[in-house]
Amino acid sequence: IIDLLEATLHPVHNNRHAPMEGLSVIPPVAQPQICAKYGDLELFLCGLELSSLVPVFQQHQIDLSALLRMRDSDLEKVGIPQLGVRKKILEAVGQLHKKEWDVSNLDEQFITVIGVNEATVILGNVAKHTGYLSATLDYVTRQIAANPQMIDPSPLVEATQDLVSKLEQACH
């Protein structure tokens, strides 16, 4: 069986056995190698069901860190004319900025002796996360600049004092 398969797959290189009568030899077809790199940006866009926009961001050399800093006008400039799509992206960016860090992978098993390769990977991840943190700080700074009243603590203080007063009344 192996000889027959080899003769069928490689008729020129293996002439020990000719294909059986009635069996046609189909030469192997060269299939293009499709290899896609899915980074954070691509995964982010796919999660929003906007994978068709990956080439737009790649054309402008925009990675996730850069996307996290973009505004509506920036998205429009790079070629995303649909308001709904831009809003979807910006809302997801806002949610990403608010997402809590998952430190579950930093358990005791992770803390082991590492080599140069592992150290390089870890430092690369630190650099990537530093970029994301920087983008988040930029996002918060822009939000505060656009809405300075958001950092005024007086409404919160008044609401807290009112709550304490009501609790004291309820306890007496």
Q: If you average pLDDT over each of 24-33, 69-78, 160-169, which comes out highest?
A: 69-78
SS3 128: helix
Q: What is the pTM of this model?
A: 0.52
Those residues whose C-beta lies under 8 Å from the C-beta of residue 68, and which sit 6 or more positions away, are 93, 96, 97, 132, 135, 136, 138, 139
| Whole-number pLDDT of residue 31 | 47
Q: Are 139 and 97 in contact (CB under 8 A)?
A: yes
DSSP string across 34-46: ------HHHHHHH
| Whole-number pLDDT of residue 101 | 67
Q: pLDDT tens, 18-41?
A: 444 444 444 455 544 444 567 888
**Which of 40-54, 90-104, 123-137 is predicted with the least confidence, judged by mean pLDDT?**
90-104
Average pLDDT score over the chain = 76
Nearest to 54 by CA among 87, 79, 83, 88: 79
Q: If you average pLDDT over each of 3-12, 42-51, 99-108, which comes out highest?
A: 42-51
The answer, yes or no, to whether residue 136 has pLDDT greater than 50, is yes
Mean pLDDT of 94-98: 84
| Whole-number pLDDT of residue 37 | 61
